Amino acid sequence: DARVTQTPRHKVTEMGQEVTMRCQPILGHNTVFWYRQTMMQGLELLAYFRNRAPLDDSGMPKDRFSAEMPDATLATLKIQPSEPRDSAVYFCASVFGGVTDTQYFGPGTRLTVL
Amino acid sequence: TQLLEQSPQFLSIQEGENLTVYCNSSSVFSSLQWYRQEPGEGPVLLVTVVTGGEVKKLKRLTFQFGDARKDSSLHITAAQPGDTGLYLCAGAVISSYDKVIFGPGTSLSVIP
């Protein structure tokens, strides 16, 4: 049963600390998305990659957020320094094909910045 | 800026009732998807509609794509507690390169 995995599932940190979230897409999927979900804003696209190359990161605050795919089995999202307003659930999703194909979401990382 | 609106925002009904939720935009979509999200989990795809006027059925769920491909509806017949969750629509916008936009969602609670 192929699934997208995300670690950690929960993270509590203090303002100013670095946070790294990891995602393992489904094997063979060539497109990976990072989303942030909050009650106020809903599900927002932060960035996405195709064949490990960044295609769009316009939804991501550039000064503190960075997203990478060191290899086809790992995507990372880093926040440095973290701020309380970054508290949210961060989802990774992967797709075999284009953005209009089925996105398979991971279980999310719930981030709380104190 | 392309926006998707969903209504109602919250819906609480008794088991066995019917309901319809809506997804609207001023933008034209090349396709539209509906996802359901349960607490503590990521969204799961229910259906993709592509053609204007298309109707798809998934057991007790009926999805319709508007003729102009700017709106969609989801109708649930005889709702069950297992239908409880957040229903999200997501549109692929023709004028944007390869981008899918999610609506804010309709939170459905079906009371036994």
Selected residue of B6, B41, B93, B100 to mutate for chain A interface (largest A Cβ count, 10 A): B100
> How many domains, chain B?
1
Instruction: Please check whether residue B54 lies inside any domain of the structure.
Output: yes
pLDDT surpasses 80 at A98: no
Residue B20: the pLDDT is 98
pLDDT of amino acid B3: 83
A58 Cβ under 8 Å from any chain B Cβ = no
Q: How far apart, in whole angstroms, are the C-alpha atoms of residue B42 and residue A108?
A: 6
Q: Does A26 touch chain B (CB under 8 A)?
A: no
Q: In angstroms, what separates the C-alpha of A94 from chain B's closest C-alpha?
A: 12
Residue B103 lies in a domain: no
Can you give the pLDDT at residue B27?
87
- In this structure, how many other beta carbons lie within 10 angstroms of the beta carbon of residue A32? 28
Q: What is the identity of the amino acid at A20?
A: T
Q: Does A1 touch chain B (CB under 8 A)?
A: no
User: What's the pLDDT score for residue B94?
Assistant: 62
Of A83, A76, A75, A91, which is closest to residue A112 (Cα–Cα)? A83
Assess if residue B68 is contained within a domain: yes
Q: What range does the domain containing B28 cover? A: 13-98
Are the CB atoms for A69 and A75 separated by under 8 Å? yes
The pLDDT score that the predictor gives to residue B37 is 96
Residue A5 in domain: no
Percent of the residues in chain A that have a pLDDT greater than 70, as a whole number: 98
Domain with A44 in it: 13-96
Q: How far apart are CA B4 and CA B40, in angstroms?
A: 23
A66 domain residue, yes or no = yes
Residue B36: which of B16, B6, B3 has the closest Cα? B6
Report pLDDT for B65.
Answer: 96
* Closest in A42, A98, A102 to B102, CB measured: A42
What domain count does chain A have? Answer: 1
Do the domain assignments include residue A110? Answer: no
Q: Is B82 helix (H, G, I), strand (E, B) or coil?
A: helix
Which of the four pLDDT bands, split at 50, 70 and 90, describes residue B100? confident
In percent, the amount of chain B with pLDDT more than 90 equals: 81
Taking CA atoms, B16 is separated from A72, A81, B61, B76, in Å, by 46, 49, 13, 10
Residue A107 belongs to a domain? no
- Whether A38 is covered by a domain: the verdict is yes
**Residues of chain A with C-beta less than 8 angstroms from the C-beta of B103:** 42
Q: Is residue B45 domain-resident?
A: yes
Under an 8 A CB cutoff, do B42 and A93 touch? yes
Is residue A51 situated within a structural domain?
yes
Tokens matching residue A49: 């990659």
More confident call, A107 vs A99: A107
Could you tell me if residue A27 is inside a domain?
yes
The CATH code of the domain that includes B79 is 2.60.40.10
pLDDT at B68: 94
Is any Cβ of chain B less than 8 angstroms from the Cβ of A55? Answer: yes
CATH, residue A90? 2.60.40.10
Q: Does B46 touch chain A (CB under 8 A)?
A: no
**The pairing of beta strand A42-50 with beta strand A53-56:** antiparallel
Give the model confidence (pLDDT) of A30-82 as tens digits. Answer: 899 999 999 888 899 999 898 999 888 888 988 999 999 999 999 999 999 99
Report yes or no: B58 at the A interface, CB cutoff 8 Å.
Answer: no
With contacts defined as CB-CB under 8 Å, which chain B residues touch A45? 99-102
In this complex, the residue of A35, A93, A99 whose CB is nearest that of residue B99 is A99
Q: What average pLDDT does range B49-65 have in this prediction?
A: 95
Q: Which of A20-24, B2-6, B60-64 has the lowest mean pLDDT?
A: B2-6
Q: For residue B101, which of B85, B110, B111, B88 has the smallest C-alpha distance?
A: B88
Chain A residues closer than 8 Å to B49 by CB? none
Please report whether residue A84 resides in a domain: yes
